[in-house]
Structure 1
Amino acid sequence: MSDFTPGQRFISDGEAELGLGTVLNCDARSVTILFSASQETRTYNTRQAPLTRVAFGAGDSVLAADGWQMTVSESQEHRGLITYYGEDAEGTACELPETKLADTMQFNQARDRLLTGQVDRNDWFDLRFRTLHHYQRIEQHAALGFGGPRIDLIPHQLFIADEVARRHAPRVLLADEVGLGKTIEAGLILHRLLMTGRASRALILVPDSLTHQWLVELLRRFSLEVTLLDETQSQAHGEHNPFESAQLILASQGWLFANAARQAQALESRFDLLIVDEVHHLDWSVEEGGGAGYRCVEQLAGQIAGLLLLTATPEQMGLESHFARLRLLDAERYHDIARFKQEESHYAEVASAIEALETLPATRDAVAAVADDPDSQMLLATLCDAAASDEQKAQAREQLQNALLDRHGTGRVMFRNSRRHVGGFPERRLHQSELELPSAYRRVQRRVERDEDYLDELLIETGMDHPDVLIYPDATYRALSEDPLNGEPWWQIDPRVNWLLEKLADTGEDGLAGDKVLVIAHHRETAEGLSEALRVLGGYHAPVFHEGLSLIERDRAAAAFADEEDGSQVLVCSEIGSEGRNFQFCRHLVMFDLPQHPDQLEQRIGRLDRIGQRHAIELHVPMFAASPGARLARWYHEGMRAFGAPTGVGSELFDAFGDDLADALLDDEALDEIITDTRALFETKLAEREAGRNRLLELNACRPHRASAVIEAVRELDDDTALPRYVERALDVFGVDSQEIGAGLVHLKPGSHMLDGLPGLVKGEEGFSATYRRETALARDDVHRLSWEHPLVREMMGRVLDGTMGNTALALLRHPAIPSGRLMAELVFRTHCPAPRALHLNRFLPPTAVRVLLDESGANLTASISFTGLSKNLQKVNKSLARDLIKSRLEPLRGLLAQGEQEAETSLPGLVDAARARMREQLDGELDRLRALARHNPAVRSEEIEALERERQALEEALAATRLRLDAVRVVITVDPNA
């Protein structure tokens, strides 16, 4: 006879997600089960049916089909069907036949799964406990969010990322000089905020030419998959808002700024962070307000709490332009440009006071004039106290310096590191070559020199601006191409082309043969013509990179240049090639002509002169003797040492002398006077900046002690020996094959039984190579770097902790000292605190394991038998036997579960108290600091203090609501070791 009766309730051992099934009919051979919740019907062989009868006991909570809940006190079986008796939520006595149980009941919790006979593999349980342990440890680690990215550990970048990512809804301007890694800083901040839950959605706006570079960098360095949104992608979403299509949206500034409808959709979306690159291109003035781009960013910045603005030239358009950037960060703080200028005038005094800390007590008055609050005065007194120890003075000096940096200037909202401050950059070498002006160019120049009116005619005839018509003779030649004398392409008559061909073929010390060469010209047409000339006259494949190409075409050109083995030797760029792109693998820059603005010149050089450049930068500048271009080069070289190193004062010099310089490009005597005046102002401005705000910014943009602490924390994670052991266990459980291939590399590929949905691993494909070593990953873009933050590791940990994998198990213990047939229950409880992710509660109390080991007599063996000690002596059991063993010991198991919960609860107050103490220590200290800063530095927003106060209160409430819940349970049954 069959053991099945219609109406009985079962669950499928292999498909628990089907829900609660009901026996429809049965005979001696088969049984048919309806799983109503999933609309599935299954027929099984009665002798081998992978089914478990659902039977609840006293204390269990069950759900009725019509929605009410009942706590079972007892049950009775009649003709094969069970009726449960107990109380509903109001305490009213009630009964519930098993036929009326809710079909949607899921048995995901460890207790339910265990008591219904659902058990997992023993190694799964082991992995679950270890996952919980490592997750708790990593979530509290100081380097969380910084350990995974594929970056060099550069102090100023990590300091800025750590400082900014600590803040509630950070709003800052990242203004490091070209090549110091603003994109990496922004990526680190974004990655940290995402990892900690401080942000979940971000909108990234970059110039058209940089969209694919950002896309690749975020994926390659930070393993962040972003959606690149353009008009085609937007239209594909139909009436739906395309900005809601992904968590991370990357968009072209040009596209969004020109499209009012798309701007409205972006404003309707809820983002936590806005990142805007090359922000100096946004136009704003006191008289006229902002241009289309500025107004768009201003609206978005008004709605999005977090804001990162990026620019290498914060004052490219002058102090007013810089003020405009700061307005976006905090319109209330930066509303009066006259007041802003007055504040700037005091920075030299503050910088001098900080420098004077090294020469106390002789310079006490200089420091006291700035350190005028009681706390600073106490620190100053310690520094001047002869009885104070060296250690006390060192601590006081550091605290006072930090206080002065915090309380004065824009250092809290603007971070700017200079090459001089960071150090370690290569030498720049200038190679100027004078060439003879060709006759076609010379005729135009001489006529302009003889006839002042001809310049006006030339401007009208060519449609060009002054002084472009003089500086770029090839462009003038092209504009005059209707002249019968100008029938040849410009590149056939321009000596610079032959000069470049000779340099590329020259194998001598000054030649470029065999080396990568980046060539930049001002105009797109010049770049296109030069690429054609190199192909026709020299047989060179020289990809061209300009604003007229599609993004894919630009990326293809850059990739062809970057390829070391089969790539092209030369890449020819228009001016757009000097923004954002990183060509540090190259050391030769040919400036076919020169830009008018010093900041554009520095941006060109900055494509090669970046952190990580291992060679001296060779700057090659061909010029025509006694030409306007040669005179411009003289102004750069002699007036401001522009080819030598970034100074940050080029914009002010151009504002002061740009118009006069344009008029002097045909007059050597006038040029000499301008160069003399430029050099004098250059020296003055440089001294002012080094003494004033720039010095303050440099001191504040990288505090060595803090930076060293962050780097040490990251290296601690890099050297974590637990990571490889954990990953190997997890890969084995998830069915991923791992093979060592030498040189610190492993190759991961899908196994025959791999679980679906693992990042980078698709069944039937080859997988990928990976390393745990940071240095190896930096040297090889084709190799993944495995870390606690790698998407594959995070996915495996998430699947374990968020699902049911391994939350039940049964194992046998063979031990001569323990009688056979004894029952033990290993219970793993987990702290649970329902709080918004944005609170980042995990830094104080991440999900924490509480382990309790009980034997059937009720003895607590937790302290005497460790998890590892027990695990290594256990033996696995097949599932059918495991289910039978559990069914036979249901009642004692229920008792051990209840007792284990009581035992675990005794640990909870201590965990919560420790977390509360950590929270108060950190947040109370930060609140005190911000409140003190706000009295001196208006850059500290009141909203920031209020948000931190609300956060503290919310954390107090969340911690108070912390509870323990059973996360996993393993049943251990002892057997005779001789059996």
Structure 2
Amino acid sequence: MSEFSPGQRWISDGEAELGLGTILNVDFRSVTVLFSASQETRTYSVRQAPLTRVAFAPGDRVQSAEGWQMIVDDSKEVDGLVVYIGEDDEGNLRELPEARLADSMQFDQARDRLLTGQVDRNDWFDLRFRTLHHHQRIEQNPALGLAGPKIDLIPHQLYIADEVARRHAPRVLLADEVGLGKTIEAGLILHRLLLTGRAERALILVPDSLTHQWLVELLRRFALDVRLLDEHQSLAHLDGNPFESAQLILASQQWLFANPQRQTQAQSCDWDLLIVDEAHHLDWQPEKTGPGYACVEALAARTEGVLLLTATPEQMGVESHFARLRLLDPERYQDLEHFKAEEHGYARVAEAVDALERLAENDSASTADRDGVAAVIDDADSQALLAVLTSPESSDEQRQVARRELREQLLDRHGTGRVMFRNSRRHVGGFPSRQLHVTPLALPSAYRRVLRRLERDEDYLDELLIETGLDHPEVVLYLDAMYRALPHDPLNEEPWWRIDPRVTWLLELLTEVGRDKLLVIAHDRDTATDLAKALQALGGIHAPVFHEGLSLVERDRAAAAFADDEEDGCQVLVCSEIGSEGRNFQFCRHLVMFDLPLHPDQLEQRIGRLDRIGQRHAIELHVPVFEASPGERLLRWYRDGMDAFSAPHGVGSDLFAAFGDALADALLDEESLAEVIDETRTLFQARLAERDAGRNRLLEWGACRPAQADAVIDAIRELDHDKALPRYLDQAMDIFGVDSQELGGRVMHLQPSQHMLDGLPGLVKGEEGFSATLSRTVALTRDDVQRLSWEHPLLREMMGRILDGQMGNTALALLKHPAIPAGRLMTELVFRTHCPAPKRLHLNRFLPATAVRVLLDESGANLSDKVSFSGLSKNLQKVKKAVARDLIKSRHDQLRELLAQGEAEAERELPSIVEAAQTRMRDTLDAELARLKALAERNPAVRADELQALIDERSALDAAIEGTRLRLDAVRVIVTVDHDSR
């Protein structure tokens, strides 16, 4: 039984977070303790009080209630209370009675917790060590930030993300063609910057129609918690800035650009990254700036990192393209006329790159080709490579190496890839062919009557618009919507789907394709809903519906039912226009366009749900059209005017802007349609010729370096197939209280247990939890299934809590071994490198928190190399906490001595850790510095601030690594017992 006296300082073994307690009173039955820091009082039985006396030894740092601190040199006892003697921070000799110790003193450090008898479970200690080990390994993987997202491993996307996210304050234009994944590239860059600490806050501005798509993409693919901000949300922050309400803000361009007050609030925030989608819509001329452009310009001037996205960088002309680049680097792009002249020079460089290929393939070098290359190089190393390439004495291997290196230098030093990345489908490859199947159908009489009256009576269109409340030309394109909107005789009214032959045609098509799945997209939400009813009523076919009126969970269920390959899966999914946004249905190859959208971009978005990299079959496009109808004329404009069904060309918006009004009139005038188609075709071919100009070819060549992309993919696959991940996940979920149930098909369901620790992402007590998989392949086919990886928020949160907190930093275990006598003591000490540095330096790529394990026996002998962590752990047995506390109390002096010896042993390993980290850092950054300096001499796209930032970064990293220290992270006491004891 402990002897308590008022004024003594004790801590609660079960509630260490209460802080330092003071004995208030004690009698022969109970003891009362006041925990002033937490304003709590506890009363315990004297015989079984779960309390440990706080006692400090020479060398310990203590803090007084007044705030000053001192290092203990000695102590004495006065009336049952300890008085500590030592020097304060100013070197003055002072005394500190234990009653005057600071109430807020916490015992979080492993040493303090151990010596005050606070021990955790052995499996917690094991998890802590393994967490530190895996964290060190993962942080140094070159794929960090790119391996976790739920994406296909597509080389050009990963190359761009890796290249851009490596840069200091990246400012680039992502201009891949439609369907090549600009949103994914931007998401990857953002995800990596967040994980590496190079960015903490981002503002994402997108067209209003794409806010939902971006929200879904960032959540589902990248597990990023983004706040969608609008005026309603903003009004909830009357006393503050709504743009400060979250780290990641997503907002509609139309909303922000029209609201000066909100613009001022957005501009007053500190953003690390600004992302602007559909940037070609920002209006700028030399003499006039549009409100959207002005808003983005002001934000870009205050934000270090800027990503502009557009599939059509020159859609509005060279001036528009110059305006985009001006946002990224106003110093580099100051003069429009100079920019136009520079553009013409890219053709010469592109011709030189073409000449390189011919020089490498032919045994006899062409003088014209050699001169063409020589004309664009002006440095000795490039000239030396050209000499090797054209020398008859060079081997084939030497020529190929010289060609590859010279090509890289030309693209690096004379290309435009520093500022702009553009991939095209013809360059990327791997896309399926498209087959168009047009089925002409007779107009039902109810539709025909209206169209014939429109042909006879020009004024009837105005009456029809008033009668239906629809717009032109939608009223004549979507005849079922017109039919629903017209007044009918209630006694004779039939639903449109009973008179529309497209419904019967669709039922026949479903039978024709066998078990193949069909994605059906209709323009109108009511059309989609009615069509699903019709399939059920007329054919007994269950078709889930996917439209904007459904909740996110309901949409997931519909998509999951469609994706299910089992017998109870659905053959057909009926979508409104929103079904062509943000969803991947590439497992399906049949697309039914029940009607056609009016805008070419929407047409391509529909096809793009199936026509994606990885699609293994030709895309079958089924389009039913009514003969001699506006819909049939629209199809001819798409097919004959711009080959819209054969492949994406990226010029649809340009063509629609030029001919949209004329097309609307031609939908009701057969004679004028031919002229609109001819003019569209002429402009279409002209735009394709412009696209194939020299600069675009350079961009395509430089937008993906296969060797770098392959290295990134290999690093990702290494993490994908990491066998340690499932083992670690099982152990962590067990300790954190997360239940896992296998659902089959490599899918599991995670849900909170009754004992789950609070605050885990996606898991709330009393709620269902979520389904997840470790398989990238499975995750990509299931929108409702999350992909677990080392980068998933759940894993990162669990690892973060362990590394940043005290969980598992002390333990005591028993060891039974026939070769070791009972009663022996060992200490297993885990030290950890400590290297404070700003997050923006991303120090962890060179020196993450690194574990140094030291195993000492009671004589101080170092057994670390002889006994592995795993080998020791599997032979240890747990011990009750009360017994553990008694053992520690009885061995205090011995433990203090072993802790000091362990620190000395660990310090011997520190120099080699620091040296290895400095070598990694210098090898990486010195090579990049040399490359940037060479580029800066010839390529004005290399910003001076980027070069200086890299110089400063190297200097700061060198100093930070040099200042690395070790600190005790965790300690386990091991006591040997008789091998035969139980």
TM-score (norm 2): 0.88
Alpha-carbon offset, residue 31 of structure 1 = 0.5
| Letter of the structure 2 residue corresponding to residue 828 of structure 1 | V
Extract unaligned runs of 5+ from structure 2: 360-364, 563-567
CA distance 1:501–1:336, change in 2 (3 Å): farther
CA distance in 1, matches of 2:738, 2:677: 68
Contact 1:558 1:571 in 2 (8 A): no
CA distance in 2, matches of 1:629, 1:736: 55
| TM alignment of 1:941-956, pairs within 5 A | 941-956=943-958
CA distance in 2, matches of 1:5, 1:603: 78
| TM alignment of 1:529-544, pairs within 5 A | none
Contact 2:217 2:582 in 1 (8 A): no
Alpha-carbon offset, residue 401 of structure 1 = 1.9
Aligned to 2:565: none
Alpha carbon RMSD of aligned pairs, Å? 3.9
| TM alignment of 1:645-656, pairs within 5 A | 645-650=647-652
| Letter of the structure 1 residue corresponding to residue 639 of structure 2 | H
CA distance in 2, matches of 1:677, 1:474: 22
Indicate which of 852, 855, 866 corresponds to 2:854: 852
| Letter of the structure 2 residue corresponding to residue 592 of structure 1 | D
Aligned to 1:351: 350
Aligned to 1:963: 965
| TM alignment of 1:191-206, pairs within 5 A | 191-206=191-206
Aligned to 1:832: 834
Alpha-carbon offset, residue 22 of structure 1 = 0.6
Aligned to 2:389: 383
Aligned to 2:593: 590
CA distance in 2, matches of 1:478, 1:123: 64
Aligned to 1:313: 312
| TM alignment of 1:261-410, pairs within 5 A | 261-290=261-290, 292-360=291-359, 361-362=365-366, 363-410=369-416
| Letter of the structure 2 residue corresponding to residue 30 of structure 1 | S
- Deviations 1:75-130 (CA, angstroms, capped at 9, x unpaired): 11233211111111122221111111111111111111112121122222222111
Alpha-carbon offset, residue 277 of structure 1 = 2.3
Alpha-carbon offset, residue 573 of structure 1 = 4.5
Aligned-pair identity (%):
66
CA distance 1:252–1:656, change in 2 (3 Å): closer
Matched, 1:815 2:817: yes
Indicate which of 966, 974, 977 corresponds to 1:975: 977
**Which shifted more, 686-695 or 866-875?**
686-695
CA distance in 2, matches of 1:733, 1:759: 16
Matched, 1:884 2:886: yes
Contact 1:545 1:571 in 2 (8 A): yes
Alpha-carbon offset, residue 635 of structure 1 = 5.0
Q: Secondary structure at the match of 2:938?
A: coil
Q: Secondary structure at the match of 1:698?
A: helix
Alpha-carbon offset, residue 27 of structure 1 = 0.8
- Deviations 1:801-836 (CA, angstroms, capped at 9, x unpaired): 111111112223333333433332222111111111
Q: Secondary structure at the match of 1:909?
A: helix
| TM alignment of 1:862-877, pairs within 5 A | 862-877=864-879
CA distance 1:482–1:132, change in 2 (3 Å): closer
CA distance in 1, matches of 2:767, 2:476: 56
- Deviations 1:693-721 (CA, angstroms, capped at 9, x unpaired): 22222222222211111111111011111
Contact 2:172 2:308 in 1 (8 A): yes
CA distance in 2, matches of 1:696, 1:835: 39
| TM alignment of 1:53-202, pairs within 5 A | 53-202=53-202
CA distance 1:773–1:535, change in 2 (3 Å): closer
Alpha-carbon offset, residue 876 of structure 1 = 2.3
Q: Secondary structure at the match of 1:85?
A: strand
| Letter of the structure 1 residue corresponding to residue 774 of structure 2 | Y
CA distance in 1, matches of 2:867, 2:495: 88
Q: Secondary structure at the match of 1:345?
A: helix
Alpha-carbon offset, residue 54 of structure 1 = 0.6
- Deviations 1:525-584 (CA, angstroms, capped at 9, x unpaired): xx76797799799968999999xx77x67996797577527989575656x876666565
**Which shifted more, 607-616 or 649-658?**
649-658
Alpha-carbon offset, residue 618 of structure 1 = 3.6
- Deviations 1:309-352 (CA, angstroms, capped at 9, x unpaired): 22333333333333333232223323333333322223332222
- Deviations 1:580-626 (CA, angstroms, capped at 9, x unpaired): 6656557324273563x655553453344333545433445566767
Aligned to 1:17: 17
| TM alignment of 1:506-655, pairs within 5 A | 506-507=508-509, 516-521=518-523, 563-564=561-562, 571=574, 573=576, 584=586, 585=588, 587-590=590-593, 592-593=595-596, 595=598, 598-599=600-601, 601-621=603-623, 633-634=635-636, 636-650=638-652
CA distance in 2, matches of 1:924, 1:32: 64
CA distance in 2, matches of 1:469, 1:516: 30
Contact 2:531 2:574 in 1 (8 A): no
Aligned to 1:441: 451
Q: Secondary structure at the match of 2:692?
A: helix
CA distance in 2, matches of 1:120, 1:323: 62
CA distance 1:673–1:955, change in 2 (3 Å): same
| Letter of the structure 1 residue corresponding to residue 161 of structure 2 | A
CA distance 1:458–1:334, change in 2 (3 Å): farther
Aligned to 1:785: 787
Alpha-carbon offset, residue 143 of structure 1 = 1.3
| Letter of the structure 2 residue corresponding to residue 143 of structure 1 | A
- Deviations 1:123-156 (CA, angstroms, capped at 9, x unpaired): 2222211111111000111111122222221222
CA distance 1:843–1:674, change in 2 (3 Å): same
Contact 1:542 1:572 in 2 (8 A): no
Alpha-carbon offset, residue 747 of structure 1 = 4.4
Aligned to 1:235: 235
- Deviations 1:884-921 (CA, angstroms, capped at 9, x unpaired): 22222222222222222222222222211211111111
CA distance in 2, matches of 1:443, 1:91: 102
Contact 1:561 1:568 in 2 (8 A): no
CA distance in 2, matches of 1:760, 1:83: 50
Matched, 1:416 2:413: no
Aligned to 1:254: 254
Extract unaligned runs of 5+ from structure 1: 449-453
Alpha-carbon offset, residue 657 of structure 1 = 7.6
Contact 1:278 1:311 in 2 (8 A): yes
**Which shifted more, 121-130 or 811-820?**
811-820
CA distance in 1, matches of 2:903, 2:141: 29
| Letter of the structure 2 residue corresponding to residue 377 of structure 1 | Q
CA distance in 2, matches of 1:309, 1:864: 56
CA distance in 2, matches of 1:165, 1:809: 41
| TM alignment of 1:448-463, pairs within 5 A | none
Alpha-carbon offset, residue 297 of structure 1 = 2.1
Q: Secondary structure at the match of 1:935?
A: helix
| Letter of the structure 2 residue corresponding to residue 317 of structure 1 | M
CA distance in 1, matches of 2:178, 2:189: 19
- Deviations 1:411-438 (CA, angstroms, capped at 9, x unpaired): 2222222222222222222234556784
| Letter of the structure 2 residue corresponding to residue 296 of structure 1 | C
CA distance in 2, matches of 1:630, 1:2: 94
CA distance in 2, matches of 1:832, 1:735: 30
Indicate which of 413, 427, 431 corresponds to 2:437: 431
Contact 2:515 2:571 in 1 (8 A): no
TM-score (norm 1): 0.88
**Which shifted more, 747-756 or 912-921?**
747-756
| Letter of the structure 2 residue corresponding to residue 945 of structure 1 | L
Contact 1:25 1:33 in 2 (8 A): yes
CA distance in 1, matches of 2:15, 2:867: 35
**Which shifted more, 316-325 or 40-49?**
316-325
Matched, 1:697 2:699: yes
| Letter of the structure 2 residue corresponding to residue 374 of structure 1 | A
CA distance in 2, matches of 1:558, 1:53: 57
Alpha-carbon offset, residue 511 of structure 1 = 8.6
